[in-house]
């Protein structure tokens, strides 16, 4: 399994257990950088430690603060809005450039349901 693949698997396993996701924001709001295919993706992490590592080690994220979101709020409010706006979901981005898988909202919802055993 690739590094991004293992990070994605950890994301779905962890958010089901913790019932939380984390993202980042600064004074301008929440980032949604362009991906290599020209679509925007908003990053989310499955633990406070993962997002803190990105803030501490990736220069482009050093001015951001972490934001904790209850899983039920993320599923019911955030994901529908992001889907409507055509924004992908960045899953546990990692590494020196904070990269990883970018998934469609519907795929994120399906994988969370599968991780919950639904």
Domain around 74: 3-115
pLDDT category of residue 2 using cuts at 50, 70 and 90: low
pTM over 0.75: yes
Q: Supply the pLDDT for residue 104.
A: 97
Q: Classify residue 105 by burial, with Cβ atoms within 10 Å: 0-12, 13-18, 19+.
A: buried
Helix (H) or strand (E) holding 97: none
- The DSSP line for 29-77 is B----B-TTS-BEEEEBSSHHHHHHHHHH-GGGTT-EEEEEEHHHIIII
Q: What is the CATH number of the domain that holds 87?
A: 3.40.1350.90
Locus of tokens 């639904």: 118
Q: What total of structural domains would you count in the chain? A: 1
pLDDT category of residue 51 using cuts at 50, 70 and 90: very high
pLDDT category of residue 116 using cuts at 50, 70 and 90: confident
């Amino acid at each position: 399994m690739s590094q991004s693949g293992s990070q994605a698997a950890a994301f779905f396993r962890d958010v089901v257990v913790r019932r939380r996701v984390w993202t980042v924001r600064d004074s301008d709001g929440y980032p949604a950088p362009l991906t290599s295919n020209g679509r925007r993706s908003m990053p989310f992490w499955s633990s406070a430690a993962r997002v803190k590592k990105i803030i501490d080690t990736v220069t482009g994220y050093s001015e951001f603060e972490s934001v904790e979101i209850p899983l039920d709020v993320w599923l019911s409010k955030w994901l529908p809005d992001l889907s409507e706006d055509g924004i992908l979901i960045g899953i546990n981005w990692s590494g020196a450039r904070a990269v990883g898988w970018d998934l469609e909202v519907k795929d994120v919802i399906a994988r969370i349901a599968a991780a919950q055993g639904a």
